[in-house]
Amino acid sequence: MKTPTLSHRLAAEFIGTFWLVLGGCGSAVFAAKFVTDEGVSLGIGFLGVSLAFGLTVLTGVYAFGTISGGHFNPAVTLGAALAKRVEWSAVLPYWIIQVIGGIVAGAVIYMVAGGKEGWTATGNMAANGFGEHSPGGYSLLAVLITEIVLTFIFLLVILGSTDDRAPKGFAGLSIGLTLTLIHLVSIPISNTSVNPARSTGVAFFNGDGAPIQLWLFWIAPLVGAAVAGVVYPFLFGSAEELADRPVRDDALESRTD
């Protein structure tokens, strides 16, 4: 099979990141809270938004993972580079196109949401935040710890699911379900980032402190991902180290001697 060119990979990362922000943040903006004229709530709430983010990654990985690796997230790209899953020369182009994809998706959400009379973007674009901008009022330290730890776990799952030793064909499912669980845990804390491109994509449309606090949603995910990328080979070894070890059943061999 022909190896995808860098331009093909960047196109996949752009579309995948666009889809993640559009599907995830779009569900939060349009569908998290929805009340009919009769007062009936049809909103999907935290659970629905969590599933939306998980489904965007799940579908994106299966659609574009074979082309670009299906990162859609600068933190994932950094962790993958440190774990020697992607070449360092691709990191900066991936980051740039991921951020562009996120911003384009944020612009689409902004334009569509603006079609509703009385809607304002300020504070309503599913931006991430801490302190008074955290959905649950959590502190800077609480958000920092949450984002580092959850990104660390997310990268371990990604690296493990895409390891040569992992069962084939299930990476998208495990990665998508992990992102769903991450959102179930942390939407009340930080509105869940674990992805600098997702945070950047809506921060400047949202305003209301989100651009000023954006630094945390770059630093924390990158730190968590970097730690995972470094420690994964030490914790679990590499495919090369284990590939030549035959699987033996000594009891079976003793019975057949």
Is the entire prediction scored with pTM above 0.85?
yes
Each as own residue / partner, the long-range contacts of residues 191-194 (CB below 8 Å, 24 or more positions apart, any chain) are 191/28, 191/126, 191/127, 191/128, 191/129, 191/134, 191/135, 192/53, 192/128, 192/150, 193/128, 193/147, 193/217, 193/220, 193/221, 194/73, 194/75, 194/147, 194/150, 194/151, 194/154, 194/221, 194/224
Predicted pLDDT at 242 = 43
On whether the CB atoms of residues 49 and 28 are closer than 8 A, the answer is yes
Closest to 32 in 3D by CA, of 50, 57, 17: 50
Predicted pLDDT at 240 = 52
- What would the two tokens of residue 106 be? 């944020």
pLDDT per residue as tens digits for the range 81-128: 999 999 999 999 999 999 999 999 999 999 999 999 999 999 999 999
Cα–Cα dist 210/125, whole Å: 10
Predicted pLDDT at 251 = 39
Which 3 state secondary structure label does DSSP give 168? coil
Cα–Cα dist 112/100, whole Å: 18
Domain boundaries of the chain, sorted by first residue: 6-232
Predicted pLDDT at 239 = 55
Low-confidence ranges of the chain (pLDDT < 70): 1, 239-257
CATH fold of the domain at 6-232: Glycerol uptake facilitator protein (1.20.1080)
- Cα 94–100–103 angle (5° rounding)? 140
Predicted pLDDT at 131 = 98
